[in-house]
């Protein structure tokens, strides 16, 4: 998993990238995924946690986490 420790995320889900000055808003689930990623959890761990807390299938949660990771790369947010 890439490094996201440089990103600043506040309690409202406002994400600021101090290397580019770009800012984004995260929904509740994206905040949880980002928080887990910053803790160093892998896709499998995060998908299991989401599957449990949102009562969705593990496969669906896994795909969502992967898609979120792809978006972060697309926006140049992963180091």
Partner 1 sequence: MKVGITGINGTDNPGPGFAIARSLKEADPTCEIIGLSYDINDPGNYMDFIIDKSSTLPYPSKGAQIYFDKLYEIKKQFGLDYIIPNLDAELPLYIKYQQELKDKGIDSFLPSKETFELRDKERLLKVAQKLGIKYPKSACVANEAALQETIQKDFEFPLVIKGRYYKAYVVRTMADALRRYYEIVAEWGTPIIVQEFVTGDEFNVVGIGDGHGKSLGMVGIKKLTTTSIGKIVNGVTIKNEPMINTASQIVEQFKWRGPFELECIVNQNDVYLIEINPRFPAWTWFATAVGVNLPERLIKYLQGERVEYKLDYPTGKLFVRYTYELVTDIEKYSQLAMQKEI
Residues interacting with partner 1, by CB under 8 A? 8, 16, 18-22, 76
Least distance between partner 1 and beta carbon 62 (Å): 28
Residue 5 or 18: which CB sits closer to partner 1? Answer: 18
- Rg of the chain over Cα atoms, rounded to whole angstroms, equals 12
Least distance between partner 1 and beta carbon 15 (Å): 11
Residue 40 or 76: which CB sits closer to partner 1? Answer: 76
CA distances from 79 to 8, 67, 76 (A): 14, 17, 8
Angle between helices 28-38 and 43-54 (to 10 degrees): 150
């Amino acid at each position: 998993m890439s490094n996201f420790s440089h990103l600043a995320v506040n309690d409202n889900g406002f994400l600021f990238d101090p290397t580019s000055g770009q800012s984004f808003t995260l929904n509740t689930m994206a905040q949880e995924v980002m928080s887990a990623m910053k803790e160093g959890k892998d896709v499998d761990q995060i998908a299991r946690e989401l599957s449990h807390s949102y009562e969705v299938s593990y496969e669906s949660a896994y795909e969502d986490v992967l898609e979120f990771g792809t978006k972060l790369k697309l926006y140049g947010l992963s180091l």
